[in-house]
Homo-oligomer: A and B are copies of this chain.
């Protein structure tokens, strides 16, 4: 490894001067700058981040804590964050909590189990002297990962932090559900069943509120029998859809594309054609939606934007733009409607 000292010897100046040049400090003659830069390039010098981080007390590195890096929502959020970091001269390091046994369920049972996973990870990031932390939630309930008085600047992505000090960036569930149900209504559907997410889950609740509002605006009475709670997965959706289809409905709104998969299967078994005999709408625009036959109409999650917004929030704060702007700190990013062929018009 080439060090500053070696460059200095080569150029007959002090290491400080090289450092000043590389960090854009003033007080250097143009001639020396040229000579040094040329030598730096020629010798392939690279600053040692460990020495830099030790001396400056800023590492220009942020830590990403992912509840599950293999969950389909996570990689794109990570990508969005990394893009922004790169633009602003920061680095991101990712830690994986591996919290999900299957996609839909947190595998642990007690909060203490959670903390026995989270705490070493946080400690690790502290050892890495990260300037800030972004927590990337999975789809489950949110747990208290930033206790009152958490010292490191932090942002919660894809969920709301319990601690109100921590800015959060999440999807606008209510509005998105509202829009897709509005769309179903605009296609003539008025008897709309719901395969819902888990009862008590925040996404579930917000999406139901959106559904409810869309019905209300069209003067359709909310009928609780048409709402069946499933577990975000295909299997339970299949089971609940069996019950739901005993009712007289023309459309099903599924709160996850995976669950729409269960509904598709059931309808196939019942000999009903999606997008002809019955309409199905999903949520997430997961990869699978495009491959359903017929293609699934759904809402696309703004994963990259969530990542970017989270990074912007954190980096702005680190750069001291607005240290404690106490106003709004919950940001809702809208989903994008994706129309495919699973919803037909009825009269």
Contact = CB atoms under 8 A, between A and B. Distances in A.
Interface string A62-92: 0000000110101110110011000000010
A82 B96 contact: yes
Given A69-B79, A124-B91, A258-B291, A49 B46 contact: no
Interface string A36-60: 0000000000111111011000010
A69 B59 contact: no
Interface in A267-294: 268, 286-288, 290-294
A264 interface: yes
Interface stretch (A21-29, A125-133, A243-251): A125-133
Counting contact residues on chain A (CB < 8 A from B), the size range is 35 or more
Contacts of A49: 50, 127-129
Interface of A: 1, 46-51, 53-54, 59, 69-70, 72, 74-76, 78-79, 82-83, 91, 93-94, 96, 98, 123-124, 126-129, 234, 258, 261, 264-265, 268, 286-288, 290-294
Given A46-B126, A49-B127, A79-B96, 13 more contacts: A47-B127, A48-B127, A49-B128, A49-B129, A50-B59, A50-B129, A54-B54, A234-B291, A258-B291, A261-B290, A265-B293, A291-B291, A293-B293
24 contacts: A1-B129, A46-B123, A46-B126, A47-B127, A48-B127, A49-B129, A50-B50, A50-B51, A50-B53, A69-B82, A70-B76, A75-B75, A78-B96, A79-B96, A79-B98, A83-B98, A93-B93, A94-B94, A234-B291, A261-B291, A264-B293, A268-B294, A287-B288, A292-B293
